[in-house]
Amino acid sequence: MINSEPCECGRTHPRLMRILGRTDDMIVIRGINVFPSQVESVLMKIPEVGEHYQIIVDRKGPLDIMKVMVEVTETGFSDKIADLMSLSKMISKELKGVLNVVADVELVEPGTIPRSEGKAVRVIDKRKV
């Protein structure tokens, strides 16, 4: 961001404000770079997973945590809790293998994750200070 107000020292040239961070899709979880496209590539290989998901990044104490909300397809949805727990653990294991970050996986019913016009909101970062 450019600040065009005069400086306290008397200079009148525009100045760059402090750079706050990157604006691309990469997120950093516990020092590891994670791209949403990596998460998507893992999820799209699993037939029980729908095309909608959301990554929620938060902080628990001093540590970053990542939760992935995944919509299950109609055929993958089961009334047996054991089947859903098994699917959740399998997705978490696959994500850990690719990302090298532990992710909590929450399975949700089809249509649960909010849809948006244009580009989908895939990452919600609650760590903002």
- pLDDT above 80 (res 4): yes
Residues 101/95, Cβ–Cβ less than 8 Å:
yes
Which CATH number is 52's domain given?
3.30.300.30
Residue 9 lies in a domain: no
Given a cut of 70, whether residue 25 has pLDDT beyond it is yes
Per-residue pLDDT tens over the stretch 30-87: 888 888 889 999 999 998 898 899 999 999 888 899 999 999 988 777 778 888 899 9
- Residue 54 domain-assigned (yes or no): yes
What's the whole-number mean pLDDT along residues 94-117? 89
Give me the domain span that covers residue 68. 22-125
Total domains, the chain: 1
Task: Note whether residue 31 is domain-resident.
Answer: yes
Residue 24 banded pLDDT, cuts 50, 70, 90? low
CA–CA gap between residue 112 and residue 69 (Å, rounded): 10
Examine residue 60 and state whether it is found in any structural domain, yes or no: yes
Q: What is the pTM of this model?
A: 0.74
